Structure 1
Amino acid sequence: MDFTECYGDTVSSVAAAARSGCWKRVKRLIRRGFSVDCRDNRGWNALHEAAAAGSLQCVQEILSAVGAGSPRGCRSYVNSLTHEGESACYLAAERGHLAVVRILLKAHANINQQTNDLSCPLYAAVNGGHKEVVELLVSKGAEVNGTHTASCWTCLHQAVYKGHREIVHMLVNVSNLEALDDHGISPLFVAAQYGQQECLEILVNAGANVSTQAADLATPLLIASQEGHQACVDFLLDHGADPNIACSHDWPQLPIHAAAEFGHIGVLRRLIAATDRACDRGDGMVSPLYMAVLRHQSKSVEMLLREGYSPDAQDCTHTLDIRSPLSFALGRTSNKPYSESVRLLVAAGASLHEEDWIYALATDKTDLLQLILEHRWISRPETLTRKCSDHHGKTILKPQELRELICVALNQVHFAACWLPLLLKAGLEPSLLLQVKMLEQADSDVLNYLLEFVNWSTLSPPLRHILDRRRAEKTWQPCPHFDSIICLSHICRLQIRLLLGPDPLMRTNVVQQLPVPSPLHSFLQFKDIPEISYKHSLS
């Protein structure tokens, strides 16, 4: 927005000449009696203009004119401030005008005069990277450990932030290396946060504490890991930074969590080797897997799992209100049927709990269930043991996992058209589903599909009663052959299924190895049974 019409240039004639560096005109105007102290709408006078322009001769002419009066008046004039609280010395230091700063100091300029925003000549020179001006001000006694601006940074903080290596090298010899801002952050922390590796090295070599903690307990190693500054992380670890210091008041956060959360793989690799594995499954700890899942950092998840971190981690219900990495990953799935993190955790053998099965079964989408069945082996109940060994390269479902699967399935009967064929073809024992809730609530097509996998003539009287009632109520239309004597061929394949086990029968090539005609292979694997389709109108 242009305010020119509202705020015209009200600078005096002497100030205008000083701004352009015309020292002869400045001298001539002063001799003609023009004032050097007239101020414009910013509060600037002729000395401010000359100092900002870096015009040494103009400054000399103006100071000579003012000095002709009393020394006290000259000192007051030299230290006059603009409306922003800027002195002529500040304006010259800010712009790196070394000679002007020098002459103003000789004229008794206040070397530590602060502006309205708490800056000062030294801080301004540091910010601008004006090494020689900084050197001059420090040699003349400027306060190096004062705090400035709203963040309460020292000049060393600002020099590090800007990456002015030579100025940092100068200041570490005269500054408090452990000075803290309003968040308890030291200059070394700033170097780590902004990836200023050279400044970091200077500070460490000067004796700065590599494991200093901010007010929120964050360490330089944590912030460097969060920002992905690999060189800074390596340097800090090589010089004694502790990767196992808790960096949060809320939970035992470590640098490895930050690297995993933000997907900095190189940093994560280094921290995996340096961090105590107690964070993986220890009570009261939090696995970095949780943080990787939080930000959908699948590469972090993959690396942690590859390096031996448990896909189950620890139960963090009391810490983060999260039960497991898989439950967390499923809960954070948005539009996709499942995220890459879910795939990695399932493939790594993450335990499945009731809430996980709900995500797989309480939907008309089968992607997640198919994923689980790619990596899980459903064994017969009587062969299950507590030891969950691998079978055909897959992890066998634990007894508790199978029980929770059946429990969820019976509570999600209205989606059975979607999950039932997949489970039965994966080797689930169909008799586990022959329960009252299934027979009472299942859709007619679903119920027929399930009965095709059993000897329907041997159902128990209570279950037979439910079927008879549903037939009478016309809520179940049985297949015509259910009223006939069961075929010998079906009894034979049920017996083969019983002997071989439904899991090898349905999921391996064991059928192809039997001494029977090849046309029977599909029959023995129940492939003759028509698929069922999900109906959205189901209650």
Structure 2
Amino acid sequence: MDRLVELDVREIELIFKSREKCAKSFRVTNLMHAMPVAVSLSTTKPSLFTFDQPLSIIPHLSTVTYTITSAPMDQPIISSTPDSVVVKSSMLPTGKAQENDLRCLFARPGPRVFKDATIPISFTGFQVIKFLIGRAPQFPDMDYLINRSIPWCNQAQLTTLLRSAILGRDVRTVLALIDAGADVNYAEPGEKSLLSVAIDAGSLEVLEALFSSGTVIDNSIDLVHEAAERNRVDLMKVICKGLSEADVNCVDSNGRTPIHVAAAKGSVEAVRLFILAGGNPNTVDSTGWTPLHCAAEKGHLGVVEFLLECPEFNGKYVINSEAKTAFGLAAENNHKHLYDSLQLGDLLHRAARVGDVNGMNSCLLQGANVNSRDQNGWTPLHRAAFKGWTECVRALLGGGADVDAADEAGCTPLQCALEAGQVETAMLLVAKGAKAEVKSLRSCCIPVEKLDRLRKHRSLSPV
């Protein structure tokens, strides 16, 4: 015979509670038909685990219940080699013995002492899962430990753990808890939804897991704005894909759409995503700001240029509640790199067209691109030369204008001046280095004496 008793468990599972004693009862049955058996219970860590009856006698064919109790501890002990309960037994023909006799009996190994079982001790339950969340690198068998503890948790506990697992970006535990029955749509009054928690955590995998679990969306407005606030385009894509009812034109408490938020963050990709999803880039918030205002205030050139080139956008000159355009906000915040895109380029062209030297100088001082082009490829110098505004031409050249800039048809400012018969302007351009042939200049009826003077200053190609 290799054993005298039998246990009704193969593992001792203690439901862990922080700073409390944890207890578990189990039964031991005497397998002998006609003889009592002495039993010894011990553990590999006697300082942590105790028994109510470490030494006892079981009558023949009888069963006795024992209780193991753990010492209070802050955190559960989890290791690859768990502690164990060691069960030893010995036949006791007399059926009677004092405790000291039993202690002496099991203190010395011999043929009369049987080692009936070694039962592992483990902690389990809600607080064990809570302890394990986010600690996967420390516990290679974490999935096993989580799944073993799940049956000891009720739905409310599973849902609480789900929130912790989402915050911990622990996608495997999230999936395990959802499969076990955690309520993905539950939130205490005043709490964020679990989808919002996933956005806070910034885990793409966790967010996708929640969507695939059949999560009901009741606050898609907040979700879209929250993802935009975090400037996470990957999260925005998952939300727009996962929310068939998502409204990308929804507004927050300030009347701002997700496009406003993305523009303020400087994310061209996010602005493009929301517009492709049906977002309106022309929506104004409660203070009259368009997304362009938001981008201009922060100095985001990429978003400014994207919106200005977007066919759906027509709010370049919208004035907010403070009577400011997007250009006004850029100027207020000294974002000179935005001036040309927002307005100064247009103003500079207009000044060149009407001969407004003062306006032109003002634009140049504010940072306007002196070589900016209109839809035909004309620079302000083309326009001033064609109109014959000599002082404007002089100011533009002084501001660094390209004297030989060619438009889409290959025409330079000098050719524009010649075609319009602007002799004085053409002479000035030549004097400032514009490439030309004498034949072209003669065709403009420039007097011979003026051509002679030009030859003294420049080397003109002969006819």
TM-score normalised per structure 1: 0.44
**Structure with bigger gyration radius:** 2
Greater RCO structure (CA 8 Å; 6+ sep): 2
Higher helix share: 1
Higher strand share: 2
